[in-house]
């Protein structure tokens, strides 16, 4: 009789340990899967839901994601024709924006286009831009896109390091 209760207790302990090991394996598998998902992929998922607020060093931008590239995201400002391009390395956080009445545009992924390609497009277009950066804002036209900087000509000619760019804002 005592042996039966001992074996039942051991079997119960064995089953609970086996269940705990199974839960740990599931958690490890989920962590491994999440470790391969990029911020761009997370933005792609959120883009279909609603507007998002992207926080950078310079400001918070409430946008609808329009295009997501290799190292940037382009969005249209909520309730405005204004667009902006945000380098992924300047994004500090992304949260779903509170209820938005805008119609969300479709979001496209262009994984092979880099930020320099988008900046060169704005240069060719001759668009008047506002470059928001860490502790600086400059306005003008992008006249040159370098390997690690852009030249913006407005009231002054200014070279802005790409690492310092938080967002490039322009009219669509």
- Each of the 172 residues of the chain gets a pLDDT tens digit; together they read 577 777 777 788 888 888 888 899 999 998 888 888 888 888 887 776 678 888 888 888 988 889 999 899 999 988 888 999 999 999 998 888 777 777 777 888 888 899 999 999 999 999 999 999 888 899 999 999 999 999 999 888 889 998 899 999 999 7
Among candidate residues 110, 127, 108, the one with its CA nearest the CA of residue 169: 127
Contact predicate 120/145, CB 8 Å: yes
Residues in the chain: 172
> For residue 59, what are its two tokens?
């400001």
Collect all residues with Cβ–Cβ distance below 8 Å to 132 and sequence separation of at least 6: 56, 58, 59, 165, 166, 167, 168, 169
The answer to whether the pTM exceeds 0.85 is no
> For residue 41, what are its two tokens?
């992929």
The CB density around residue 119, as the number of other CB atoms within 10 Å, is 23
The CB density around residue 127, as the number of other CB atoms within 10 Å, is 15
């Amino acid at each position: 009789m005592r042996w039966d209760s001992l074996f039942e207790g051991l079997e119960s302990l064995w089953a609970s340990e086996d269940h705990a090991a199974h839960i740990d394996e599931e958690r490890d598998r989920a962590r491994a899967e999440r470790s391969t998902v990029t911020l761009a992929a997370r933005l792609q998922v959120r883009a279909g839901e609603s507007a998002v607020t992207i926080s950078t060093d310079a400001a918070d931008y409430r946008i609808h994601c329009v295009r997501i590239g290799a190292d940037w995201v382009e969005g249209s400002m909520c309730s405005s024709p204004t667009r902006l391009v945000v380098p992924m390395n300047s994004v500090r956080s992304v949260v779903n924006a509170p209820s938005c009445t805008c119609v969300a545009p479709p979001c496209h992924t262009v994984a092979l286009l880099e930020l320099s390609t988008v900046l060169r497009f704005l240069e060719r277009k001759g668009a008047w831009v506002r470059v928001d950066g860490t502790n600086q804002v400059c306005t003008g036209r992008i006249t040159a896109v370098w390997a690690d900087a852009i030249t913006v000509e407005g009231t002054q000619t200014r070279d802005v390091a790409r690492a310092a760019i938080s967002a490039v804002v322009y009219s669509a």
